[in-house]
Amino acid sequence: MKHLLLVAGILLVLISCKTADNISVSHISNNSRLSGIKTFQMLTQEDASRDILLLNRLLEKKLLENGFSKVDQNPDVLIQSVIASIDYEKEVLGLSWNVGLGPNSLFSPSYLESGKYGKVIFLIQDAQTYEVLWMGTGTGILTANELINKGEINAALDRLLANLN
């Protein structure tokens, strides 16, 4: 019975650790003004970080997949993204089910994982009035060990853009 409780406890810890990495999303929308929008232009600052540039490329790709067109002149909407984040560092235990002295063994030492935790904000504004028509946000771990989790960002964008129309 003790072994069953130990296994159940370990499974609970592993499951809860995995869900903490998900990016939660929310949005605010003015759906009546979004109908009929077909064209967009991405706004990017000249000194934008590579993370912002990557986010803009991922968002642009998703918008194109959803039937929107990117234009340089007279777009229906202007789109921009912003990242507000803090750096974090956490100690990860080196425990695993493998036995031995390798990096994934039961006896491997703990190590530090660094990254950024924060919020990504996407704004869609009317190109004529600059009124915000839609704002989507994603909150969670944005980078781990200096790498953006493209799969997680794409999944968050899918959830956000499902609410766009």
Summarize pLDDT for 116-125 with one digit per residue, the tens: 788 888 899 9
Confidence tier at 136 by pLDDT (50, 70, 90) = confident
In single-letter form, the type of residue at position 156 comes to A
Summarize pLDDT for 21-73 with one digit per residue, the tens: 577 777 676 667 777 889 999 998 888 888 888 888 989 999 999 889 999 99
Residue 126: name the closest of 63, 71, 78, 56 by CA: 78
Confidence tier at 129 by pLDDT (50, 70, 90) = very high
| Alpha-carbon distances of 36 from 13, 127, 149, rounded to whole Å | 47, 13, 32
Q: In whole angstroms, give the CA distance from residue 26 to residue 61.
A: 20
133 in Cβ contact with 33 (< 8 Å) = yes
What pLDDT was estimated at residue 108?
A: 60
What pLDDT was estimated at residue 42?
A: 94
What pLDDT was estimated at residue 102?
A: 54
User: What is the CATH number that goes with domain 22-162?
Assistant: 3.30.160
Summarize pLDDT for 66-96 with one digit per residue, the tens: 889 999 999 999 999 888 888 877 776 665 5
- Structure-token match 């000194």, residue found: 47
Report the relative pairing of strands 77-92 and 39-42 from DSSP bridges: parallel
